[in-house]
Structures are given as C-alpha cells and as structure tokens.
Structure 1
Amino acid sequence: MNPISSIYNWQRITPDDGNYFFGYYDRNPWNADQSLHLVLKIDQCERLPLPGEKAEIGAVTPNGNWTKFTETRAWCHQQGCMELFHPQKPDCILYNDYDVNTRRLEARIFQIGKGEIGRYSRSIYTLAPNGQFGVSLDIGRIPRRGYSYADVPVGNDLHPADLDHDGLFLIDLKTGKEKLLVSYRTMLEQHSYRYCTEGRYIWLNHAIVNCDSTRVLWLLRQAADQHRVHNWQTFMYTCGIDGKDPVCVLPDVYWSHWMITHQIWGRTPHEILVDANWDGTGYHAVVFDESEHPFRAVKLADSHGRGAHMIFSPDGTKLLADSYSGTEGIQTLAMIDVKTGKMEILGRFNHRPEKVDDDDTRCDLHPRWSPDGHYITVDSIHDNKFRGVYLLEI
C-alpha cells in the first residue's frame, strides 16, 4: 500500500474484496451512535454505470465489519445513491432507487434487519439537520453523468416542460407530503441575466440545507449542449424553507474560469463557505453572509491546492479541505484551524494522474466528519487495487 502519512494512522475500514465508497462530502454517513458508516459496494470504477447495473448498499463498523442491507440501480460514482440514515427512524436508511414499473426515481426506506418499509414519491437529494424534511430535485436532468443515474437518461428539452410546477421540492419525512419550494419560473425571474438562458439547457444541482434547517442553498446551471457538457455556467440561489425571498446570491461572474469549485453552508444560518480564487493568487477558504447585499467575503485560510471540498467540524473550530489531483495524481487532505488559519496536512493520497475521459468516474476524497468530530473518513484509490473508505481517528 502506498503511504498516506508518516504521522497519522489511516485505517481502511472496508474489505479488500472489491470497490467500496460513500460519496459526497456534504452529508453524514454515520448512524446516531457512530457504530455504523454507510457505504456502497460496486463492481467497477472504470466506466459509467449501465441501465440496470446495481450497487450494494450496506454499512461498515469502525473496525471494518461489512454488512449488506439492500441494492439500488440509482447510483453514480461521485454521490452514490444519496444513502443516509433516516433521522426519524434510527434503525432505517434512506436511499434513491429506480422503479421499473413507473420508470421514476424515488427514495426508499429500509429498516435494518427487516427490509423495505416505505417509499417517498420523489428521489431525495439531501436532508435537513433537524430531520424533518428532505429536499428533492430532478436528478434525471443533471447532464453530468457522474452525478446522475443511468436509468434516467438526459432528454432533449432545454427547459422543463412546466416551469411553474417543477423545480426544488420539500418532502415531509414523517408524512411523505411534498410541496414545491421554488419553481423554475421563479428562479428564472430572479436570474441575474436571464437572457442568457435562452437556447441553453438548464438544471438544478447541489442542494444543501443550512445548520438550523431554515434555509436551502442550490445551484442552477446551464450549458449549450446537454449531451456534451463543458463550460457550463453556475448560479447559486438561496431561500427560506417557506419558499419566500429566493435570491440569486452568486451569479456566474463569480464562478467563471473556475474561480469557485465547491460550496457549502457554514457555522451560522446565513454563512456560506466556498473555495474561491477571486484575487487570482490561488484558492482560499472564504466565507460570506448570504443575507448581506452586497456581501462581504472574508478569507479564513490560504489553500493547499485546487478544487477543495471543504467542510467545518461539528464544533466549527476546524475545517477539512481536500484537493483535486495534479499532474502527479496526488490528492492532499488538510485540516485548518479556523481561528489561526494554520494548516496541517493529514495525508497525501496517490490517485494516479487522471485520464482525459474519467472525470465522471474519478475518485475524490470527499472528506467527512463524524457527528462528534472524532473521526474523519475519505474515499480513496491510493492502493492501486480497489476504491475504499479510510478512517482517521482525531
């Protein structure tokens, strides 16, 4: 195995008999008592999933015991199937799947040791920290296939058929009742330069709920060709969970030429964290208050690389930041002291130089804290054998 760090003791917690991973950095893979960490097991990491190709959903213990729960055919290499523990049902998980009868995506509830016990009418993209609701968007419209599902191919319509009744939805996790939070029509009305959406394919992505479950952040993106996506434009929106006062916080001018690559809510209800290269000197950890217009950005720390997935520790004192691999294929994980800006390298992971065509199947670290802040987990392929989940105890 290639060494990760000469200082920190990283441990692989998934078996070495195949490819295992969790997915994105903006969600919690642990159950309430941190005895189980959700993972997917897949057969291959070299190509996009095919229609009908399944992934196994299960969990591992911190000492590496794997248990399979169920399967799904709605998964991707970057974000899995959005698998999460159900906040209102401690012994249940939520995950997305494809219904072959209705030909629709939906979220399912699986009770550990029993089986499927319920479904929601839409797929769920993310959950609120208070556990009361989930956020849904049309994953089938996402043209970047590393972030969507094989059974729902991208269509030819540039805009959704019904702009007034499609968009971002909230799902009550207790009742299953859904409501339209913000319509595409409203988003376009708040668009910073709406004229540029004409003749462009538009979609939603990366919805996140803030720390006190009062506001939602999401991205509206647009591209000239949904079947060959490159040079897309990004517009960040926020609104309250009542759907009032939706606003385009960051239009594409703040994103163009990769001046931002990732975003997440911060430590307070209105704070947003981005990795921004707004001064042209490199990517930095930057926060701003989305309720201020115009906003005033504050730099927390310098960057250690390009394209960091960043997330605050549960107590808000530390910040995890990974990096995209460079020409040598090394992805670096750093922990930053928020008060001082001091950076400590937790590991360097050899993910091999990426091929030109493997952007959708690449393996990013996607660092994640445990709820108590004592564990960090990442997805890695540094052993040149299998994708796996690695754990560091802090």
Structure 2
Amino acid sequence: MSEKEVDVSNVRMVSDGSSHSFFGYYDKCPWDESNSYLLFHSVAGTGIPSGDSLATIGYCDPQGGKSFVPLTTTDSWNWQQGSMLQWLENRSAKKILFNRSIPEGYGTVLLDIDKNQERFYGKPLAAASPKGDFMVSYNYSRLAVTHSAIGYFTHPVDYDLECFPDDDGLFYVDLETGKEMLIFSYRDASNFSPEDSMSRATHWFSHAGINPSGTRILFLHRWSECVTDENQWFHRLLTISPDGTDVKVLQTSEHPLLEEQVEGVWTYEYEKNVNQISHPVWLDDIHILAWSTRNNRSRYHRYTDRSSDVEEIGGHVLRENGHFTCSPNNKWLLTDTYPDPDSNKRSLLLFDMETGAVASLGSFYADPALTKDTRCDLHPRWDRNGKIVCIDSVHEGMVRQVYTLDVSDSLV
C-alpha cells in the first residue's frame, strides 16, 4: 500500500443523530465478541459533565440498522473516556462494565444485558483483563484535579490533594469475588526510582492497560508541582504484575517544557510533539506501543517489557501524537491526529507495520470552539475482525456521532 488518501465514501453514521453519541476511548473495542453489537453513550447536553449530567448507555446493530437500544444510565463520565464503557471479555453472556457514582465516590457496574441484572464494585474501572477475571482501578476524583479531561465531577471535588498518599493508588479488583487490593500506592510511586522533581509534586496515575494473558499491567505515572499546566507535567511509563511485584520503568520523560518555551503554545501543541509520554497500549504480552520522546525526538516507540529494548516506529511518516491501536493481527496501526491549526481537521491514518507505508483514511473537521475538556477526538478502534473502524466525530456539525468505516479494501 503506497502513501495515498483512500476513498471515504463508506464513512457511515451508526448513531441516530438525535443527540450527542460517542463511545469513548481508543483502547477498548465497542463491538461485542460476536462482532454484532456496538456499544456507545448517548448524551443530551454539551458542557463539562457534572452530578446531574446523565449519559444513557446502549448499543445498536450497525449492520442491521441504526436503532439505539438503551440499557441504563450513568452519572460518571467525561467526553474523552466516557464511563470506561466496555464489554466484559471472555464471556458467552452479553455483559458490560462501566463506571457510576456511589456514596463513597465512584464504583464499577457489571451489567448482564440478557438478565438485566447489575452487580456493583466499590472501585471504579480503569482497565479490565482481556480474560475477564480482574480489573484495575485508580482515583477519578484525583484525576478531576490533576487531569480534568479524564476525571469525574459527580461529587464535589477536593482540590487540596495530598501529594502522595500511601492508602491510595493502583488497585487490583477480583471480578469474581470482589476482593480489592492496593498494589502500588502514590507513595510507592514517589519512592520508586525517585526523581528530584518528585518530592514536592502531586502524583497521579492514568491510562492503565492489561496484557492479553493478564500477567502484566501498564500505566502512566505523572507528577507535577503545578498540575493545572500540562507543560509542567513529568511522565513515566510503568509496568507491574497483578500482585504488585516486579515494577519496571520503561520510560521517563526527559523534561517538561521550560517556562520560556510555553508562551504561545497552541491548545493542542503539547499533545502533538513535546516531551511527554502518552497513549500506551499493549501489542502482545511483552510489547507496548507509546508516544514518547527519546533523545529529543518525539515519535511512536515500541517497548519490550522488563527490558531496555526500544524501537522507533514509523518515524519517517508518523510525526504527530495520536490515539493508536493495532489490528487484531498486529499488521496495521490505526491512529488519528489532533486538529491542524489552520484547517481544524483531524486525520485518520493507517500505517503498515511491515512496509512502513501510510495511508490517509480521511480528514474530519472539528469546531475549534470545542475546548480541551469537551473536544471530540476520533479515537479510532478496530472491530473484532480487523475490517471495520469505529470513530467518534463532529465533522457533520456540533453534535458528535458514532461512525464506522469499512477499511478492508485498504488492507492490501
């Protein structure tokens, strides 16, 4: 496949257009295991979600019609990641996981669609094992302060955070028994291979993911003395075993932008190319793909867990940060870009991991009036067969919708 722009006439809206519809993040598959039903949220409002902002959770059959089947609601969501909505994997029954508020904060709901039964867990979902046996959790109230775009605001927010508490952090939750275990606290993080910048900083975790066999967990450890300025964040990519042992640092950000470099930085410039680590995903049991900066060069990098092996991926053509996942056969990298400052269009790209060729699957306009916390990133995701792509987009107006693209003809 050569570098080209392919036909996008098959971009198809699968939501009904009557309200804001979106799935959420890029690292979860919205299709069930039969590849028949597609999950997403439906929302009436447009502002930053608060306690009275309900999202309806449901699904449609994207091949059989656009009819949205509502299932339940949640009050715990944001425009970037939604409610962490996802199918419970490795199950014959149709079961989904998502977050919802509880009196003590936020928890996880496991909904059996066929039985219309809900089970509750006392910790909110960050990532679920592909085997469906456990999940990991961290504090979304803390994220409301440190990374507001992916935090929850259902409960009043306490902005006076302890820098690195020892009773909060990354939790393991057994989905069968409900047992919870703190496996890596914020204090543990501040003491593990400490950097000089950590001692007075506020620490938080985000972007967790679990490898296919359920034996390793990745997550981002971030810290800053000024959490409201992303240019002053520090980053580490960590991995850990589910029992809290064998913690590894795969990458530490080289430095944040110096203060004199910050003036005039465009809204999305930080996400595009400076010294951060973002959007890590497992490629298989030992390899992780992430956007990061090494030797002053920001590119996609493939890391090997428990080793120092790092390889730049697509550096000649993939020069901007985005939200990326690999096809089920790991041959194709699907990613998007942040909007171009002149056209306000986001690109959808398909990269051949074997040949290094890239193709544009289209450009999608996004109104610049959307803020960092209310923006609509494409967040592309593969279907189970690696033939169809799902995106969230506002290219047809201010109302975000769910779209699919058949890319099978491009996979040659």
User: Is 1:40 aligned to residue 41 of structure 2?
Assistant: yes
Deviates more, 1:4-13 or 1:15-24: 4-13
Report the 3-state secondary structure (helix = DSSP H, G, I; strand = E; otherwise coil) of the residue aligned with 1:150.
Answer: coil
Paired with 2:132 and 2:209, the residues of 1 have a C-alpha distance of 13
Cα shift at 1:44: 2.5
Q: Which residue of 2 aligns with 1:359?
A: 372
Paired with 1:366 and 1:200, the residues of 2 have a C-alpha distance of 30
TM-score in terms of structure 2 length: 0.86
Task: Give per-residue Cα distances to partners, 1:132-173, cap 9 Å, x unaligned.
Answer: 111111111112222011124243023254x1x322111111
User: Is 1:264 aligned to residue 280 of structure 2?
Assistant: yes
Structure 2 unmatched runs, 5+: 258-269
Matched residue type, 1:10: V
Q: Does the Cα contact within 8 Å between 1:154 and 1:226 map onto a contact in 2? A: no
Q: Which residue of 1 aligns with 2:58?
A: 58
Task: Give per-residue Cα distances to partners, 1:25-75, cap 9 Å, x unaligned.
Answer: 111111111111110011233x21122211111112113221110001000
Distance 1:296 1:35, change over 3 A: closer
Q: Does the Cα contact within 8 Å between 2:248 and 2:306 map onto a contact in 1? A: no
Report the 3-state secondary structure (helix = DSSP H, G, I; strand = E; otherwise coil) of the residue aligned with 2:372.
Answer: coil
Q: Does the Cα contact within 8 Å between 1:192 and 1:251 map onto a contact in 2? A: no
Alignment of 1:213-362 (within 5 A): 213-226=214-227, 231-253=232-254, 258-260=274-276, 262-276=278-292, 278=294, 284-293=299-308, 295-304=309-318, 306-327=320-341, 328-353=343-368, 358-362=371-375
Cα shift at 1:226: 4.2
Paired with 2:58 and 2:346, the residues of 1 have a C-alpha distance of 26
Q: Which residue of 2 aligns with 1:121?
A: 122
Cα shift at 1:280: 5.6
Distance 1:254 1:273, change over 3 A: farther
Alignment of 1:20-35 (within 5 A): 20-35=21-36
Structure 1 unmatched runs, 5+: none
Deviates more, 1:210-219 or 1:266-275: 266-275
Distance 1:69 1:255, change over 3 A: farther
Cα shift at 1:190: 1.3
Q: Which residue of 1 aligns with 2:191?
A: 189
Paired with 1:305 and 1:252, the residues of 2 have a C-alpha distance of 18
Cα shift at 1:347: 1.2
Q: Does the Cα contact within 8 Å between 1:158 and 1:200 map onto a contact in 2? A: no
Report the 3-state secondary structure (helix = DSSP H, G, I; strand = E; otherwise coil) of the residue aligned with 2:200.
Answer: coil
Distance 1:305 1:350, change over 3 A: farther
- Measured on the aligned residues, the alpha-carbon RMSD in Å equals 2.3
Paired with 1:381 and 1:184, the residues of 2 have a C-alpha distance of 37
Report the 3-state secondary structure (helix = DSSP H, G, I; strand = E; otherwise coil) of the residue aligned with 1:159.
Answer: coil
Distance 1:184 1:277, change over 3 A: closer
TM-score in terms of structure 1 length: 0.90
Matched residue type, 1:367: P
Q: Does the Cα contact within 8 Å between 2:235 and 2:277 map onto a contact in 1? A: no
Cα shift at 1:277: 5.1
Report the 3-state secondary structure (helix = DSSP H, G, I; strand = E; otherwise coil) of the residue aligned with 1:264.
Answer: strand
Paired with 2:312 and 2:112, the residues of 1 have a C-alpha distance of 44
Q: Which residue of 2 aligns with 1:148?
A: 151
Aligned length: 381
Matched residue type, 1:319: L
Q: Which residue of 2 aligns with 1:18?
A: 19
